[in-house]
Amino acid sequence: MSEPEDKSDSYLEDIPRYFYSTITNDLLSNCSICDCDLLNENTHYFIEKSIKYYPELDTEETILEYAICSDCHEELSKSLSEESKITIQNFYLERIQFFSQNQDTQTLEEKLSTCWVSKKTKGEITEFNVVAECLGNQMNRSFFPMMISAEAIQELYQSLSFETKDELDRFKDRFDNVPPEFKEILKDKLVIF
């Protein structure tokens, strides 16, 4: 008798080049905060990139990129007030659009073509963030990757308390493993985490 198929593995695939470092053209290998090795097969983490899209040229420029391990992500979550956690949760529950029941069959381009919050397409927005959930050198494609417009991120940010905004700014200050080109940008850029 054969063993049941482990569905969680069926959602893993090699991390697409789109989520590679634009500076090194290689996988982001260390957490931008604690510097842990992300390519260990058991390390769960997120990659986030802020992108500027030039529709007239149909080209993209990465403004900021980083990777954050699940331990550092959890530490950030714990530092937020309960009120802010509820605000963030409600923001996404009320606005995120699940476009398709067959998410796992969509191509990367299809998943990243529309903002999950506003439903605007990449042609309608010029700045957005993309997020991938990864395990070692694999990307989980069951829910992620996702694209969120800078406008939607700004809307979420404006709904947060001053204390939470300060906490997020302090947390961003801890990004030591970020290339110098991105360090200054990170101070002013809103990120999803």
In a domain, 4, yes or no: no
What is the count of structural domains for the chain?
Answer: 1
In a domain, 60, yes or no: yes
Express each pLDDT in 164-175 by its tens digit.
888 777 777 777
DSSP 38-92: S-STT-EEEEEEEEEEETTTTEEEEEEEEEEEHHHHHHHHHHS-HHHHHHHHHHH
Which of residues 142 and 22 earns the better pLDDT score?
22
Statement: residue 29 has pLDDT above 70: yes
Q: Share the mean pLDDT of the chain.
A: 83
Give the range of the structural domain holding residue 40, as residue numbers without chain letter: 11-188
In a domain, 6, yes or no: no
**pTM given for the model:** 0.83
Split at pLDDT 50, 70, 90, the class of 176 is low
Mean pLDDT of 135-153: 90
In a domain, 5, yes or no: no
Statement: residue 7 has pLDDT above 60: no
